A = this chain, B = another copy of it.
Amino acid sequence: MTPRLRRIQSKKDSAVCVGLDPDPDRMPRPLQKRSTLDATLVFCRQIVEATAEVAAAFKLNFAFFEALGPTGFQILGEVARLIPDDCLTIADAKRGDIGNSARFYARSIFDDLGFDACTVAPYMGRDAVEPFLARADKAAFVLARTSNPGAADLQEACTCGDDTVEGSGDPLYLHTARKVAEWSADAPGTGGLVVGATAPAALEELRDACPTLPFLIPGVGAQGGDPEAVMRAAATERGPVLVNSSRSILYASDGADYAEAAGEAARELRDALQSGLAAPDGS
């Protein structure tokens, strides 16, 4: 997947990933008289149309679609198909199960729903991640250091390294990242990491440890991460990044101009990210 990501990013000069987390309680006012299912589809379509020009990728958060029941799952597929070919589609499903089940999840997400990439949880280890690394045109963004308050509970547990003192004292997120680099070594371009914008030191550390893996970076906007600092810490010639924003784009306005406001918020994010890239200490 990485070569395609590079082509898209150099065509659009953009690291923006638009996160589609359609919360029924936050629908713009003009959509509130519609049914939740109908409003969700219309809302997502309008956001995609308003932001596709500057979006290098869209990330669909499965929680919000699954909460709508079987029809929500159908809408998820419809929204994925609406996204133009010059944007990557990322299934934010955080899958992680034993090999046999993981193969079924990968088939559903890559083949039936047609996504280009999926977020994957690493706790169950190699056989849970591998089915998502098996195809050159697809990718797994594996959780390394996430942006939420509870991230530290496990991810910052200090590890003693495995079978050797090398790596001793490293936090678990670095251990995880090294495993992902190892698991995807045979299929370059298929492995990536999720690293939150809210932990800039971890971002730098992970970029040093994994110079070529693409990073999917949530946590700017509503969660407080600084777009320019993120680019300085993680975007390099060899290591591409996608910076996700959901709420600050989707809910930029709750009035009739919500789509226009979302487009404007996406352009502002694109510009802020490009400034970070151009900064003197960027690389």
- The number of times this chain is found in the oligomer is 2
Give every chain B residue within 8 A of A148 (Cβ-Cβ).
98-99, 124-125, 127-128
CB of B152 within 8 A of CB of A125, answer yes
Which of the 9-residue segments A82-90, A172-180, A207-215 touches chain B?
Answer: A172-180
Q: How many A residues have CB within 8 A of the partner chain?
A: 58
Q: How far is the CB of A2 from chain B (nearest CB, A)?
A: 23
Interface of A is mostly: helix
A159–B155 alpha-carbon span in the complex (Å): 11
A148–B130 alpha-carbon span in the complex (Å): 13
Give every chain B residue within 8 A of A155 (Cβ-Cβ).
123-125
CB of A73 within 8 A of CB of B63, answer no
Q: How far is the CB of A212 from chain B (nearest CB, A)?
A: 21
CB of B69 within 8 A of CB of A112, answer yes
CB of B63 within 8 A of CB of A74, answer no
CB of A107 within 8 A of CB of B172, answer no
Known: A70-B73, A96-B121. 10 other contacts (CB 8 A): A61-B97, A67-B105, A69-B74, A70-B74, A94-B96, A121-B123, A125-B146, A125-B154, A160-B160, A172-B172
State the A residues within 8 Å of B (CB): 21, 61, 63-64, 66-67, 69-71, 73-74, 77, 94-102, 104-105, 107-108, 112, 121-129, 143, 146-162, 169, 172, 175-176, 179
